[in-house]
């Protein structure tokens, strides 16, 4: 989440996007007289031909010079949100922007044609949406400003330090944000809350909250917003990382298989499914116990880890996702992916007795005909056999 500063007046540049000169946009904060507005300046269409031959760094410089020249004080900016300023070239100067005195640089082709740009102001529909704290009042809350980042481990996850203890902080904000991402995070919080105390499932510590990043006037009273949540930290890394190294763990794979299967069974008993079982979503705690993470059941998925019948469902319903499939189909794809996970373990172990046992159970879980596969309970029973 971006940190805000409060200079008396000025621009604070944030992210810039440019697709080889097509639809460039610049997100920034406009500070003026102790108030702040989040703004996204976007050009509807491609830049002029003379800009397309420039490198990306030069195009960014030219566009930011143009943005710095805009007199934002003359525009009707929206409070407490992100204002999108969409610009397009027209033959008339209706709703045009104003260039500040001293910034009329004719060498900048955008500034030169600013008087012909039509300006449309609206709320940014793709802004990061931060829900208010009232929706999750029963959980412990941690101030974002009190968390010290230790390491960024994924686009949405970082390890943080709070009172000399390390946690995993999963954020709503991310490099490529989609409006539905906020609901996915809230759903994951809800699922994790229901699963608190259950073994082999990532444990929710609490919510991370802050003042609304988009608040225009600092003196305005407004509820805190949720920026993400804290999880217990699992220091031994993921199975994906373990598999990349030399695999020397004797009986641990059987233990991991039982723990992962038990976690899946707990989800299914509560009417939940995972839908993204894969090595990177299994982590190890300090005692080398396997823990299932990313349990929302509504986030992303990897095509190769979907059962054949789930792949067929997606192909027949191109605008759908695994989360929209019937519950039994979702359970089936979880079990199939669990079987593939056991097969991956077996491949890493080799032809030992443990490897053969895991492969045999994996084969029974991933048979081509769903009706001929063993159940998750049967798989766990076979894993428990001596």
- Where would I find the H helices in the chain? 49-52, 56-69, 109-112, 181-194, 239-244, 252-269, 308-316, 327-349, 353-365, 376-384
Query: Are 220 and 265 in a shared domain?
Result: no
Is the pLDDT confidence value at 121 over 90? Answer: yes
> 10 Å Cβ neighbour count for 304?
9
Residues contacting residue 292 through CB under 8 Å, at least 6 positions apart: 200, 201, 202, 260, 263, 264, 274, 281, 282
- What was the pLDDT predicted at 4? 43
Tell me which of 93, 108, 123 is where a domain ends. Answer: 123
Query: What is the count of structural domains for the chain?
Result: 3
**CA proximity to 112, closest of 77, 53, 61, 65:** 65
Q: For residue 41, is it within any domain?
A: yes
Domain co-membership, 341 together with 225? no
Tens of pLDDT, residue by residue over 156-176, are 999 999 999 999 999 999 888
Q: Quote the domain boundaries for residue 51.
A: 9-123
Tokens coding 148: 């010290």
Cα–Cα distance, 141 to 162 (Å, whole number): 12
Give me the pLDDT at residue 90, please.
81
- Residue 377: the pLDDT is 97
pLDDT at position 96 over 90: no
The verdict on 256 and 212 lying in the same domain is no
Q: Could you report the per-residue pLDDT of 180-194, keeping only the tens digit for each?
A: 899 989 989 999 999
Co-location of 224 and 203 in the same domain? yes
Q: What is the mean pLDDT of residues 72-86?
A: 95
Residue 1 lies in a domain: no
* Residue 292 and residue 385 share a domain: yes
pLDDT at position 92, please?
67
Instruction: Clarify whether residues 198 and 318 are in a common domain.
Output: no
User: What is the radius of gyration, based on Cα positions, of the chain?
Assistant: 26
Helices and strands of the chain, counted as H and E runs = 10, 13
In this structure, are residues 201 and 266 in contact, taking their beta carbons and an 8 Å threshold? yes
Domain shared by 380 and 256, yes or no: yes
216 with 140, same domain: the answer is yes
Final residue belonging to a domain, choices 100, 123, 146: 123
Of 56-65, 84-93, 229-238, 276-285, give the lowest mean pLDDT range.
Answer: 84-93
> Predicted confidence band at 362 (pLDDT cuts at 50, 70, 90)?
very high
pLDDT at 109: 87
Is 220 in the same domain as 242? Answer: no
pLDDT confidence of residue 8:
55
- Please determine, for residue 384, whether its predicted confidence score (pLDDT) is greater than 50: yes
Q: Are 54 and 18 part of one and the same domain? A: yes
User: Who contacts 226 (Cβ-Cβ below 8 Å, separation ≥6)?
Assistant: 130, 131, 132, 133, 135, 136, 172, 186, 207, 208, 209
């Amino acid at each position: 989440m971006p940190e805000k500063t409060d200079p008396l007046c000025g621009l604070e540049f944030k992210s810039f996007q440019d697709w080889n000169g097509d639809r460039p946009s610049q997100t920034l904060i406009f500070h003026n007289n102790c108030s702040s507005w989040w703004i996204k300046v976007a050009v509807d269409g491609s830049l002029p031909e003379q800009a397309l031959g420039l490198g990306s760094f030069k195009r960014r410089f030219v566009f930011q010079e143009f943005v710095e020249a805009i007199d934002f004080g003359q525009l009707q900016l929206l409070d407490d949100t992100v204002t999108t300023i969409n610009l397009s070239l027209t033959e008339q100067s209706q709703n045009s922007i104003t260039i500040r005195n001293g910034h009329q640089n004719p060498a900048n082709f955008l500034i030169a044609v600013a008087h012909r740009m039509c300006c449309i102001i609206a709320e940014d529909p793709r802004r990061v949406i931060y829900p208010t704290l009232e929706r999750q009042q029963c959980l412990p809350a941690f101030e974002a400003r009190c968390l010290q980042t230790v390491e960024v481990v994924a686009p949405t996850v970082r390890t943080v330090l709070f009172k000399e203890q390390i946690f995993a902080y999963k954020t709503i904000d991310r490099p490529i944000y989609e409006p539905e991402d906020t609901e996915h995070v809230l759903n994951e919080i809800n699922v994790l809350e229901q699963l608190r105390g259950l073994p082999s499932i990532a444990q929710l510590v609490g919510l991370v909250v802050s003042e609304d990043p988009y608040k225009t006037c600092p003196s305005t009273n407004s509820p805190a917003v949720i920026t993400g949540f804290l999880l217990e930290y699992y220091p031994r890394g993921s199975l994906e990382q373990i598999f990349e190294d030399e695999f020397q763990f004797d009986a641990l794979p059987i233990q991991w298989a039982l723990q992962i299967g038990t976690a899946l069974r707990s989800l299914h008993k509560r009417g939940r499914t995972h839908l993204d079982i894969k090595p990177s979503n299994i982590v190890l705690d300090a005692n080398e116990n396997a823990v299932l993470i990313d349990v929302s059941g509504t986030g992303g998925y990897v095509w190769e880890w979907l059962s054949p019948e789930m792949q067929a469902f997606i192909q027949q319903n191109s605008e759908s996702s695994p989360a929209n499939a019937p519950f039994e189909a979702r359970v089936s794809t979880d079990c199939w992916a669990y079987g593939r996970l056991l097969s991956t373990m077996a491949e890493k172990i080799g032809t030992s007795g443990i490897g053969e046992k895991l492969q045999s159970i994996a084969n029974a879980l991933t048979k081509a005909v769903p009706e001929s596969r063993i159940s998750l309970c049967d798989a766990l029973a076979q894993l428990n056999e001596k």
